Structure 1
Amino acid sequence: MNLTPREAPPVSLLRLNLLRTLYLVIVVGLGFVVWPNLVVRMRPYELMEGVVACMLAAFSLTCAIGVRYPLLMLPVLLWELFWKSIWLVAIVVPLWLAGRLDEQTVAIAVTVVPVLIFPFILPWRYMADRYLKQPADRWR
């Protein structure tokens, strides 16, 4: 039995730099939106507002690691792609089809829709090889 991980296909330098750019855009964007409120807050957060702010701050720190290690941190981008896509399909589309899309949902959707560029940047062949074809880590 071969226990060594197989070699994933190479990822082009262009794709690596696109991934780095994506991570950096997330870091900078959240750096302007989330971190100032966390550092200098005039009023206490509501419970879920505080949870979301802290999760986004942690996400930005994780994406900062992705600037240096873009392939190692791919699961972070997959998580972002998955939750935002699920939210758009399960929440926004039904509201839109029912004619019940409110301003608050539209405002959030506008910030979520840019995730639609992720599929064009992610190295799908590499990920399929690494996450689907490569033998799983041992269970025992």
Structure 2
Amino acid sequence: MNTTEQASQQQKQTKFSIKNIFVPDYENYEGVRRINIYVMRLFFALMFVFVATDSWTVILNHEGAWDPTRAVAWCTWAAYSTLALLGVFHTLRMLPIMLFMIFYKGLWLVVVAYPLWSAGTLEGSPAEEMAYMFSGIIIPILFVPWKYVFKKYILLETKKNNRC
């Protein structure tokens, strides 16, 4: 292959197209499809915008002594949302934050919402709104690159490309 063909081939691979977002990107994202990266970035941004706004507002405007349990909760959410901002820029490195979100929301749905729903008491309960919001967890579950998670966190493979 001559240099003109190589340059043309590189342009095709790096040029944005709808088709390319569904193909594993070994050059930039360790074989993770761009669509997964884009959707996870969107979720990281949403986590930052919504959770950071609430948590940091409560922390910065709080007056008086804190209830220790409430303080831990608000500080956890503030730290979580701040780390989510890093996920917008370093998506694969911050993937454990996404896994944490899937785990706590899934656990809450199983432990709190499901028993209420199966007893027919979820509707109208204080948990109803949160159950509705947490049910959106299906989207990140669909877009987390589970093969990558398995390789990185179960098999503990090291990455060859340090770009993401």
Alpha-carbon distance, 1:9 to partner: 4.8
Match in the other structure for 2:34: 13
Larger gyration radius, structure 1 or structure 2: 2
Distance 2:135 2:126 in 1: 14
SS at match of 2:127: helix
Checking the alignment, whether the CA contact within 8 Å between 1:9 and 1:125 is kept in structure 2 is no
Provide structure 2 residue ranges, at least 5 long, that are not aligned to the other structure. 1-28, 159-164
Residue 89 of structure 2 corresponds to 68
Higher relative contact order structure (alpha carbons within 8 Å, sequence separation ≥ 6): 1
Query: Which of 114, 125, 129 matches 2:136?
Result: 114
Deviations 1:24-44 (A, max 9, x none): 110011122221111112565
State the Cα distance separating 1:54 from its structure 2 match: 0.8
Unaligned stretches of 5+ in structure 1? Answer: 1-7
Q: Does 1:99 pair with 2:120? A: yes
Question: Which stretch of structure 1 is more off in the superposition, 11-20 or 60-69?
Answer: 11-20
- Identical counterparts, % of pairs: 26
| Stretch deviating more after TM superposition (79-88 or 96-105) | 96-105
TM-score after normalising by structure 1: 0.79
Query: Cα–Cα, structure 1 residues 49 and 134, in superposed 2: closer, same or farther, change >3 Å?
Result: closer
Deviation for aligned residue 1:112: 2.0
Q: What secondary structure, in the 3-state scheme, does the structure 2 residue paired with 1:72 have?
A: coil
Paired residue total? 129
Query: What's the CA shift for 1:93?
Result: 0.7
